[in-house]
């Protein structure tokens, strides 16, 4: 791999493209000598500049990105793409400059041009929704691998090309990173790519320059009200994904009322699916078995064809996710019989879901799950999933993000207190907020439950999980919600190393559970 940010995957053998051709083909304004200048990559992060890059200077909340043009030049950038303000700001740096009215709006198409990602594009699958995007993405990735394809993946947890994986910073990366990732995937002969698409990715045009073969809508529940005014505003941010310039076909879950609203607003061919008996959908998912280790299900289609399998994660919602992933593949052109064959051959849908109701305990002692859920609806479905498979008490450890939607904290506390026997409220990524204030909001929510749980407040997560283990007995369950796959705690802008899964295993060992 070329030198640069190890969290960003780019082509190892980039093909240079003339800057003058970019200016000509897009009809852009330029300043300085552009003849003979060739670009091999594009980035808007000065820390990720590689030799040959086109550096993008965007107007930020506090300063203009073009102010970093000198640092980008010193790192090897050969040209600057920015607006008129940025061009004036960086005039003394000496970089040839391409000027556009809105660099953010142009970023996707120009990135696609730089990396030639519209040429020989792989099968593109996109997944959106408040909860379950990462799970569905990994389930798709697993089945594509079972079907014998070299598959690519971009999720909240990681970016992956075959066996190569790096940790993600954003649910959906910036357009420059996505197109660089796709170019790297082309080098690895990836035939199918699954991409999580957040509402922010659509609002901030991170998926510009892409056309998905199949997109899916999972659900919508309260989240991201730090970015969106209300549920309708949040919903409207998702809708552009279901238009002809973004996607060719759609699969929509009708398990929430928002699914039907997507169908009513959809401008591309759409297929529906539901795990609810009271909803009329094209495809139906029925749970056939739930254990502490897996969930079995049957998927039935509009023509009576069906496939039965299981997934190694608990929860009826995981069966619904698996069914939706299968239907996405059918809509993409795979035969249901071929999918059923590989699932039967392997005994289940083989997928690794880091930090998604991930069991980290052994065969003895309490069952301990670590999960990434950090919204009221995520708490609700995961608590229900654990209740279905564990006979004893349910102990829940959780906190809430700082500098994020504060209005959901009371509801998170109430749902946890109503659904668990014991709740332990702790810190989780306080960022620049005072942690005690976050915990206080969660505690108030827990106290408001109709049948409040036994409640403890423990600031440090290491101490919180050890208290949970000390309270648990054989047959009990511990659900640690929030950290999931993450390997850090964000405090005052510092990412302090912390792996909840390792910490949970260590707490169990200290308590004498193998």
pLDDT in tens, 41-82: 999 999 999 999 999 999 998 899 999 999 999 999 999 999
State whether 363 and 336 are in the same domain: no
Q: Identify whether 9 is part of a domain.
A: no
Strand 158-161 to 151-154 pairing: antiparallel
Is residue 183's pLDDT more than 90? yes
- Three-state secondary structure readout of 126-137: EEECCCCHHHHH
Identify the domain boundary among 346, 373, 406: 346
Residue with the larger pLDDT of the pair 353 and 110 = 110
Closest to 179 measured CA to CA, from 240, 121, 111, 107: 111
Q: Which residues pair with 26 in a beta bridge?
A: none
3: pLDDT strictly greater than 50: no
Residue 229 has pLDDT above 90, yes or no: no
Q: In terms of domains, do 393 and 501 share one?
A: yes
**Alpha-carbon distance 6 to 40, whole Å?**
18
pLDDT of residue 4: 42
Last residue of a domain, one of 346, 369, 388: 346
Is the pLDDT at 500 greater than 80? The verdict is: yes
How many Å apart are CA 54 and CA 335, to the nearest integer? Answer: 43
pLDDT over 50 (residue 214): yes
Q: What is the mean pLDDT of residues 215-222?
A: 93
pLDDT, the chain, mean: 94
- 222: pLDDT strictly greater than 80: no
Residue 8 lies in a domain: no
Q: Are residues 101 and 71 in the same domain?
A: yes
DSSP 71: H
pLDDT higher than 90, residue 406: yes
Predicted local confidence at residue 170, as pLDDT:
65
d(CA 455, CA 78): 58
| Percent of the residues in the chain that have a pLDDT greater than 70, as a whole number | 98
Give the CATH number, domain containing residue 301. Answer: 3.40.1190.10
Residues 392 and 468 in one domain: yes
Contacts for 272 with CB less than 8 Å, ≥ 6 apart: 251, 252, 253, 254, 259, 263, 281, 282, 283
Considering only the C-alpha atoms of the chain, give the largest distance between any 2 of them, rounded to a whole number of Å: 73
Read off φ and ψ for residue 138, nearest 5 degrees.
Answer: -70, -35
Six token digits for residue 447: 């106290």
Are residue 334 and residue 455 in the same domain, yes or no?
no
pLDDT level of residue 387 (50, 70, 90 thresholds): very high
Asked whether residue 181 falls in the same domain as residue 286, the answer is yes
Q: CATH no. for residue 401? A: 3.90.190.20
384 and 332 both lie in a single domain: no
Question: Between the CA of residue 24 and those of 21, 30, 77, 98, 429, what are the distances in Å?
Answer: 5, 10, 20, 11, 47
Q: Specify if 22 maps to a domain.
A: yes
Express each pLDDT in 410-436 by its tens digit.
999 999 999 999 999 999 999 999 999
* Residues 245 and 102 placed together within one structural domain of the fold: no
Q: What is the reported pLDDT for 52?
A: 98
Domain assignment present for 271: yes
pLDDT in tens, 271-324: 999 999 999 999 999 999 999 999 999 999 998 999 999 999 999 999 999 999
Q: How far is CA 421 from CA 60, 257, 327, 373, 403, in A?
A: 46, 30, 37, 18, 29
470 in the same domain as 437: yes
Is residue 6's pLDDT more than 60? no
Lowest-confidence pick of 117-121, 170-174, 238-242, 509-513: 170-174
Quickly state the pLDDT bin for 492 (edges 50, 70, 90): very high
Structural domain containing residue 295: 123-346
| 99 and 30 co-located in one domain | yes
Domain end point (choices 316, 346, 376) = 346
Taking a C-beta distance cutoff of 8 angstroms, is the pair 138, 196 a contact? no
Same domain, 317 and 368: no
Whether residue 90 is contained in a domain is answered as yes
Domain identity same for 302 and 375: no
Reported in sequence order, the residue ranges of 179-278 that DSSP labels E, i.e. its strands, are 192-196, 212-217, 247-253, 270-274
| pLDDT value for 1 | 36
CATH of the domain at 47: 3.40.1390.10
Domain count, the chain: 3
Answer whether residue 438 is part of any domain.
yes
Identify the CA nearest to 397 among candidates 447, 337, 319, 472: 472
- Averaged pLDDT for residues 224-244: 90
């Amino acid at each position: 791999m070329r030198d640069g940010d190890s969290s960003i995957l780019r082509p190892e053998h980039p093909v240079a493209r003339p800057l003058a051709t970019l200016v000509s083909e897009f009809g852009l304004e330029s300043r300085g000598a552009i003849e003979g200048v060739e670009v091999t990559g594009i980035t808007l992060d000065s820390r990720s500049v590689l030799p040959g890059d086109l550096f993008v200077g965007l107007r930020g909340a506090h300063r203009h990105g073009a102010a970093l043009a000198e640092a980008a030049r010193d790192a090897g950038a050969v040209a600057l793409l920015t607006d008129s303000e940025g061009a004036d700001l960086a005039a003394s740096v000496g970089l040839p400059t391409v000027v556009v009215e809105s660099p953010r709006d142009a970023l996707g198409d120009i990135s696609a041009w730089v990396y030639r990602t519209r040429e020989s594009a792989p099968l593109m699958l996109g997944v959106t929704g408040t909860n379950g995007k990462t799970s569905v993405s990994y389930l798709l990735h697993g089945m594509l691998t079972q079907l014998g394809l070299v598959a690519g993946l971009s999720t909240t947890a990681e970016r992956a090309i075959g066996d190569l994986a790096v940790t993600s910073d954003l649910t959906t990366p910036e357009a420059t990173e996505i197109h660089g990732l796709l170019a790297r995937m082309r080098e690895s002969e990836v035939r199918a790519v699954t991409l999580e698409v957040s509402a922010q990715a659509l609002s901030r045009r991170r998926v510009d320059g892409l056309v998905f073969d199949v997109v899916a809508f999972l659900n919508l529940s309260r989240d991201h009200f730090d970015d969106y005014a209300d549920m309708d505003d949040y919903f409207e941010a998702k809708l552009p994904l279901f238009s002809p310039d973004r996607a060719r076909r759609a699969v929509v879950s009708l398990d929430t009322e928002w699914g039907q609203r997507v169908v009513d607003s959809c401008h591309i061919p759409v297929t529906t699916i539901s795990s609810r008996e009271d909803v009329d959908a094209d495809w139906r998912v029925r749970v056939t078995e739930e254990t502490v280790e897996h969930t079995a299900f049957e998927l039935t289609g509009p023509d009576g064809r069906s496939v039965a399998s299981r997934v190694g994660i608990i929860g009826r919602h995981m069966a619904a996710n698996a069914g939706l992933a299968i239907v996405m593949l059918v809509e993409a052109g795979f035969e249901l019989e071929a999918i059923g064959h590989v699932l039967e051959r392997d005994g289940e849908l083989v997928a690794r879901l880091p930090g998604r109701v991930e069991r980290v305990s052994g065969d003895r002692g309490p069952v301990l799950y670590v999960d990434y859920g950090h919204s009221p609806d995520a708490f609700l479905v995961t608590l229900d999933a654990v209740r279905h498979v564990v006979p004893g008490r349910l102990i829940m450890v959780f906190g809430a993000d700082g500098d994020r939607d504060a209005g959901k904290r009371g509801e998170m506390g109430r749902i946890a207190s109503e659904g668990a026997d014991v709740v332990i409220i702790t810190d989780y990524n306080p960022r620049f907020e005072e942690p005690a204030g976050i915990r206080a909001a969660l505690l108030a929510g827990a106290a408001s439950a109709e049948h409040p749980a036994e409640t403890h407040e423990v600031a440090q997560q290491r101490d919180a999980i050890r208290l949970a283990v000390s309270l648990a007995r054989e047959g009990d369950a511990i659900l640690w919600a929030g950290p999931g796959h993450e390997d850090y705690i964000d405090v005052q802008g510092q990412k302090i190393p912390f792996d909840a899964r390792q910490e949970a295993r260590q707490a169990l060992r200290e308590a004498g559970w193998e």
